[in-house]
Structure 1
């Protein structure tokens, strides 16, 4: 799924028109249409945060929206660069996993281990 298709589907689930959504976000209706049709990449800046709030996305959907926006611009999700750059170990772990071509199953096991650890 693309960034545009995702926001279009969520907007339609809430029965929001393209016009009212664009007006609320302070952008041109044609521009939002182009984004939804994937004729333009996801907008930069706080757009993802604004549309996420407007569509009242869950944490999971918000993170998916961040990922789709980043993918449309061939970048890392907006919520991750600062964390990655602050932690040497995170960069090392990513490089090792890249070098060994870590599988989805290995990553999933790591995620489960982190979620289940005592806090």
Structure 2
């Protein structure tokens, strides 16, 4: 039986509930949903969608890095937007962050997210 390891880093926002920033199970890493909180302050990065999307991508990458993974190890991504009209804007920032790597992905619109965020993102990564 493989053990589970909880991943915590101060380079991403602390969990705002009873969960881990990520859990490692063997070669798999399950990164919890990240919202656009600034790690140092625990406050929302700002109102602009672009700023929120950039912060979410940075937070996800920080959790991955804390566990010894990178964006190129990501196999699947789930993105939640409160306004699907921001899809193209998000897509451009996402493509810049991930470069040529193209994980499986879903983007869905939701009615609300924690702390009034406009975006939340979670992912699954694997070490080969």
What TM-score do you get using the length of structure 2 for normalisation? 0.29
Normalized per residue, which structure has more strand? 2
What TM-score do you get using the length of structure 1 for normalisation? 0.31
State which structure, 1 or 2, has the greater radius of gyration over its C-alpha atoms: 1
Normalized per residue, which structure has more helix? 1
